[in-house]
Structure formats: structure tokens, C-alpha cells
Amino acid sequence: TINAACYLHMICQMKALIAGAGKKAYTLVVGRPNPAKLVNFPECDVFIYVSCAQTALLDSKEYLAPVITPFEAMLAFNSVLPYHKTTVTLTTHNIHPNYTQYPCNPDQKYYGRGPLRLTWNYNYGAGGSNIGFDGLNSPETLTSDLIISFKTALWFWMNNVHQVISQGFGATIRAINGAIECNGGNSTAVQFRI
């Protein structure tokens, strides 16, 4: 479309992400996608829909391949922190003593798990209460149950990040990682994002 130039930065970022995962990328410039348009590309395993935020959500049940957003692509193709594996974050066990509403189980560790790398006992407790799993006593559920894992990521996003999206990329990173990454807390992570 005429506005494709506005999305070139995101298209380049997606192509680099796909290439980094060892996959081939094609760029298709079309109006709003529909099954009839995309059926002509059976070699594509997935379509990444780069568009303005108002038209980004698309129900892809009728498509032969999934149609996902760039955010979902970043989760899926992130080779540094794959969502299905457990990684340890900067602090030991991520237990915050000031959040007594969500008391820690001494036998559990609350480090980064799931698509948005949920950390801290208070996030596991609140997320578990909202989604319907015992986050404090079974935090590993985020690595063993894909549905709960993504529900928890969406819960965290909608409760902590969604309201700051209009403030820019830096505000979303602050909402997700706070002092761990912002204000010089982890310059390596910052450089990786640039």
C-alpha cells in the first residue's frame, strides 16, 4: 500500500529476526489480508502482519497458515530467550519480601518463565490468581502448560504494559523489566535491543 514506507523499519526487523532463525522471508505488500489472497503462497509456514495498530488484530482461523503480529513473531523467533525454556534472571530466585500478599514457597524459584519471562513471587501469585493456577506453589506450570503460559503473558501485558504503549518502546520495556534493565541496570540487554 501507499503507507508501506512507514513500516519499513518493522519489516526489516522482522526479516532479520526470521533470517536469524534460519528461515526464509518474503515481503508481500497487500491491502487487508484475506484467505483468498494468501492461499497463493502455500510455501509460507506463517504470515507476519505488519500494519497499524488499529488493523493489526486478525482472526486467522480461515487461513491455511497462521497470521501473527510482529509481537508474536518476536516471541516465537527469539533465539536468545525461547519461551519454552527456563532461564535465570539477574536476581537469586526473585523473591520480593515486601509483597506479603503473595508469600513465597521456600521450595520454589520465581525466575523468568513464559513468553514475557514472568518473574518475582508477586507476579506469579497475582498471575496465578487471575488465570487460575497456583503460581506460588507451581511456577513451573509456565514451562509445561502452553495455554496457561500465554494467558499469563497476556494478563501481565494487559495489567502492566498495555496502558503505556502510547508512551513508546522505552516505556514498555520499563513496564516489563523496570530497574532490572532501565536506568543503567543491564546495559547488555539494552544494547541487544538497539
The string of pLDDT tens digits covering residues 54-64 is 555 666 678 88
pLDDT at 73: 78
Length of the chain, please?
194
Name residues of the chain where pLDDT drops below 70. Answer: 1-6, 52-60, 75-99, 179-194
- Which pLDDT value is given to residue 187? 60
Percentage of the chain beyond pLDDT 90 is 12
Backbone phi and psi for residue 11, each to the nearest 5 degrees, phi listed first? -60, -45
Q: Residue 96 is placed in which grid cell?
A: 520480593
Q: Could you report how far apart the first and last alpha carbons of the chain are, in Å?
A: 28
CA distance 164 to 185: 20
Tell me what pLDDT residue 126 has.
94
**pLDDT tens column, 137-159:** 999 998 888 889 889 988 998 88
Chain-centroid distance of CA 99 in Å reads: 25
Q: Is the full-model pTM beyond 0.75? A: no
- Tell me how far apart the alpha carbons of residues 146 and 151 are, in angstroms, rounded to a whole number: 9
Amino acid letter, 33:
P
- Please report the pLDDT score of residue 169 as a whole number: 76
Asked whether 110 and 119 are in contact (CB, 8 A), the reply is: yes
Domains along the chain with CATH numbers = 4-77 (3.40.50.11860), 82-193 (1.10.530.10)
> What's the pLDDT score for residue 193?
56
SS3 194: coil
Nearest residue to 113 (alpha-carbon basis) of 102, 98, 127, 101: 127
Query: What residues have CB less than 8 Å from 176, skipping those under 6 apart?
Result: 116, 156, 160, 161
